[in-house]
Amino acid sequence: MKKKKVIMIAGAAVIGIAAAFAVFSQKGPTPTPVQTETLAEQTLRGTVEASGNVESTDTVYVYAEVSAPIERVPVKVGDKVAAGQLLAQLDDTDIHNTLQQKQIALRTGSQSSQQRIQSAEKAYQDAKNNLDQGLNTQINTAKDQVTNTQRALAKAIDDRDVNQARVDQEMKSQLISAQSAFDSAKLDYENAAKEYNKAKKEYKDRLNDLKDAVKEAEKSGDENALERAKQNLDDFEEEEGYETANGFISIKSLRQTYERAELAYNNAQKTLNTARIDAQNAATDKMKNYVKAVEDAQLAYDSAVQSLKAAQTAASQSLDSARDAVASEKIAANTEALQAEIKTLNDNLKKCTIAAPAAGTVTAVYAEENATATGLMFTIENTEGLQVKVKVKEYDLPSVKEGMKAVITADATGDVEYEGIVQKIAPAATGSGSAAAGAAGAAAAATNNSNVEFEADVLIQTPNTPLRIGMSAKAKIITQEKAGALAVPYDALTTNEKGETIVYTPKKQPDNTYQAVAIPVKTGLETDLSIEVSGEGLSAGTPVIADAKAMSPGMLIAVTNGASALADAVSGASGEASS
């Protein structure tokens, strides 16, 4: 029936166009048939359309926290459950038996551990008391040994010092005679040297000449000359000299006296050195036993001190070992680990009763009786709180903001619209949750940017809808909205020679014909089908030619959609009627 109505309207339009052609063909040039749109105030919406699926706003996944056989599952898909309601009961026999064994071990182990701790503490306290009160046998023995060896060392040092003084005195006595002879020879030598040097100084030049003559004769090899030179030197020393209180003393006599004194002095020096060495050797030989006694006593004392330190260290280590034994027994007696196991088993007993963590509708049941509980067991969702999870294209995302209103439709409910609001927009594109996915996503985006999408949650605000979880749905997110706007189809716009955007409106002429008149306009909000226009000469009720690109200013036209009455209403419209 609807199809037939459309055909009849189309036929009437064709007849009307033919009639218009017939009328104008009788009066002159054939006008161009046009259709018009009448401007009316309306609410314009800019939207971004995105598709997705209906899902619950509150979804709870219930997992098995212990692995045990499932005894019963009292719920099924579609059941509404309250928070705390039983979903499944697991067999807790094995857990209960293990718990009893651990509790028995805790009771018996505590008694035995306490006895061992008391015994270790007593051993430690005994060792500490012995040490504090000076009752440690090893330390006391070592201390006595240190005292005895210290006394022996002091006595040995005293004996050595006394005998060293005696030997030193004996050595001095032995050296007195040799020292006296040396001192006398030294004095004679110094006096003889003084007198002889005095004579040599007085007869220096003559003595030097005679000595030079002897040297020259020795060099010449003349025996006779050498003999004469020596004789001359000898005669001079014999004849020359000076008077003293004891008479005349020749240089020769002075020289001979000096040579004898020098020889006696050197011999006395040797004799004194020999005496000193002999005395020192004798003293050393006499003192060696005393020195050895001191060295032995020192070694014995040092050894006793080391033994005392070793005994004190051993006692301290023994005390530390006793203290460590107490700590070890306490650690061994520590029941924290066993108590933790018992606590875990008690918790697992509670986990054998699986209850709903929140109220809602059971939408999935994975648990089966007699099977082992593992992984996901149930899904509970709020079927009254629904949202559509849509995917927004990358180029649309800058226009979409959280809090924007949306119009929701579903395939299952046809054209029925439901109110919604954008609640959340994902911060990253779908599939970009990891470095690998991000790299793959970037490569895909480089090939085709239109594939990049972002998930957004659109909350359904209309109550009691027939929508169900999993249905396919679309959301038109309202990015802009303007009430009382004038709008035309996109085909009703074109540009003139000045580059201005214009629309055409029919203007009735005096001869009852119609011409296309151009009106400059400004455009505004755009929708999928129309665009906002404004300008001088435009108002609600103004007819606008639907296909502007086929028009030119002043073109003869025929309105074919019964808009002649509207053309009469704008017969005085101003605009560009000719080029």
Q: Which of 426, 458, 482 is the last residue of a domain?
A: 482
Task: Provide the pLDDT for residue 7.
Answer: 28
CA 290, 296, 299, 305 torsion-angle sign: negative
Any domain includes 2: no
CATH code (residue 375): 2.40.50.100
- Give 308's contacts (C-beta < 8 A, 6+ positions apart): 139, 142, 143, 145, 146
What are φ and ψ of residue 556, in 5° steps?
Answer: -75, 125
Helix or strand or coil: residue 527?
coil
What would the pLDDT profile of 511-559 be if each residue is shown by its tens digit?
Answer: 889 999 999 999 999 888 899 999 998 999 999 999 999 999 999 999 9
Any domain includes 109: no
Task: Provide the pLDDT for residue 110.
Answer: 67
Half-sphere exposure of residue 257, counting CA atoms within 13 Å on the CB side? 16
Report the alpha-carbon distance of residue 439 to residue 437 in Å, rounded: 5
372 and 395 inside one domain = no
51 and 70 inside one domain = no
In terms of phi and psi (left: phi > 0; alpha: psi -120 to 50; beta: otherwise), the region of 84 is left
CB 83 within 8 A of CB 358: yes
409 and 494 inside one domain = no
Helix or strand or coil: residue 248?
strand
403 and 256 inside one domain = no
| pLDDT higher than 80, residue 85 | yes
Q: Which residue would you say has higher pLDDT here, 112 or 100?
A: 100
476 and 515 inside one domain = no
What would the pLDDT profile of 379-410 be if each residue is shown by its tens digit?
Answer: 999 888 899 999 999 999 999 999 999 999 99
Q: Which of 482, 514, 542 is the last residue of a domain?
A: 482
Any domain includes 419: yes
Report the alpha-carbon distance of residue 269 to residue 182 in Å, rounded: 6
DSSP string, 458-516: EEE-SSS-S--TT-EEEEEEEEEEEEEE-EEEGGG-EE-TTS-EEEEEEEE-TTS-EEE
177 and 303 inside one domain = yes
- Give 27's contacts (C-beta < 8 A, 6+ positions apart): 511, 513
CATH code (residue 444): 2.40.30.170
Any domain includes 342: no
| pLDDT higher than 50, residue 34 | yes
170 and 272 inside one domain = yes
What would the pLDDT profile of 421-436 be if each residue is shown by its tens digit?
Answer: 999 999 999 875 444 4
Task: Provide the pLDDT for residue 333.
Answer: 67
CATH code (residue 491): 2.40.420.20
Tokens of 553: 């200013």
Structural domain total, the chain: 4
- pLDDT-wise least confident of 492-506, 513-527, 555-569: 555-569
Q: Which of 425, 460, 482 is the last residue of a domain?
A: 482
375 and 394 inside one domain = no
Percent of the chain at pLDDT > 70 equals 88
Task: Provide the pLDDT for residue 19.
Answer: 42
| pLDDT higher than 90, residue 342 | no
563 and 524 inside one domain = yes
Domain range for residue 33? Answer: 14-41+486-569
Any domain includes 83: yes
494 and 535 inside one domain = yes
Any domain includes 527: yes
Which of 106-120, 176-190, 213-227 has maximum average pLDDT? 176-190
Any domain includes 303: yes
Report the alpha-carbon distance of residue 265 to residue 182 in Å, rounded: 7
In which band, very low, low, confident or very high, does the pLDDT at 111 lie, cut at 50, 70 and 90?
low
Task: Provide the pLDDT for residue 70.
Answer: 94
Q: Which residue would you say has higher pLDDT here, 71 or 207?
A: 71
| pLDDT higher than 70, residue 443 | no
Per the prediction, the chain carries an average pLDDT of 83
In which band, very low, low, confident or very high, does the pLDDT at 562 lie, cut at 50, 70 and 90?
low
| pLDDT higher than 80, residue 576 | no
163 and 268 inside one domain = yes
Any domain includes 219: no
Task: Provide the pLDDT for residue 105.
Answer: 79
Q: At what angle do helices 93-132 and 336-351 cross, to 10 degrees?
A: 160
Task: Provide the pLDDT for residue 319.
Answer: 85
168 and 298 inside one domain = yes
